[in-house]
């Protein structure tokens, strides 16, 4: 069975009354954790983007503290896990400023950790890809914000 197009789904959702719409959303949230997380963001956290960023940064810091650094293999796995988490919650927001700040925080935490970036090509490439993504997103922002974020990157020694 092929899924319907977004337009077809949109047209169908417009025809539903509010009670049916709530029922559909709750049913959707029951099937996947990501659907529930997205609904949580949209309904509870979208109005306070700054608070959402800070909450994400705190969670990333906590996850970095729990990474097993005794072995480089486990460190790589832990870094990828934190990065998957970061990417998932950045996707929910869709805000460029949030993406830049959260990725910068990830890079800052990686640099401050006891993990030696230069000992592993994978970790080095992972770090460099994040810096590339940050730079790409910074150039999509307004000129004033570009300057502010470039200054912030220099302060955090990420350039």
Per-residue pLDDT at 54 exceeds 90: yes
Q: Please report which residue ranges of 46-142 form alpha helices under DSSP H.
A: 49-65, 72-93, 96-112, 121-138
> Which has the higher per-residue pLDDT, 1 or 58?
58
What angle is formed at CA 62 by the lines to CA 76 and CA 124, rounded to 5 degrees? 30
pLDDT band at residue 13 using 50, 70 and 90 as cut-offs: confident
pLDDT band at residue 157 using 50, 70 and 90 as cut-offs: confident
pLDDT score at 156: 83
Q: What is the pTM (predicted TM-score) of this model?
A: 0.88
Render pLDDT for 92-146 as a digit per residue (tens, 0 to 9): 998 999 999 999 999 999 999 998 888 899 999 999 999 999 999 999 999 888 9
- Average pLDDT score over the chain: 92
Report the alpha-carbon distance of residue 21 to residue 109 in Å, rounded.
Answer: 41
Mean pLDDT of 7-22: 90
pLDDT band at residue 62 using 50, 70 and 90 as cut-offs: very high
Report the alpha-carbon distance of residue 39 to residue 43 in Å, rounded.
Answer: 6
Mean pLDDT of 21-41: 90
């Amino acid at each position: 069975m092929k899924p319907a197009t977004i337009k077809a789904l949109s047209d169908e959702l417009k025809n539903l009354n509010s009670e049916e719409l709530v029922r559909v959303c709750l049913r959707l949230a029951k099937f996947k954790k990501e659907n529930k997380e997205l609904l949580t963001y949209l309904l509870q956290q979208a109005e306070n983007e700054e608070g959402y960023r800070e909450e994400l940064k705190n969670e990333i810091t906590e996850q970095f503290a729990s990474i097993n650094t005794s072995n480089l293999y486990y460190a790589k796995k832990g870094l990828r896990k934190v990065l998957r988490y970061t990417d998932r919650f950045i996707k929910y927001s869709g805000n460029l400023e949030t993406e830049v700040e959260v990725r910068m925080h990830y890079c800052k935490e990686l640099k401050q950790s006891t993990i030696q970036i230069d000992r592993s090509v994978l970790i080095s490439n992972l770090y460099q890809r994040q810096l590339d993504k940050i730079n790409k997103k910074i150039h999509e922002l307004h000129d004033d914000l570009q300057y502010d974020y470039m200054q912030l990157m220099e302060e955090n020694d990420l350039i």
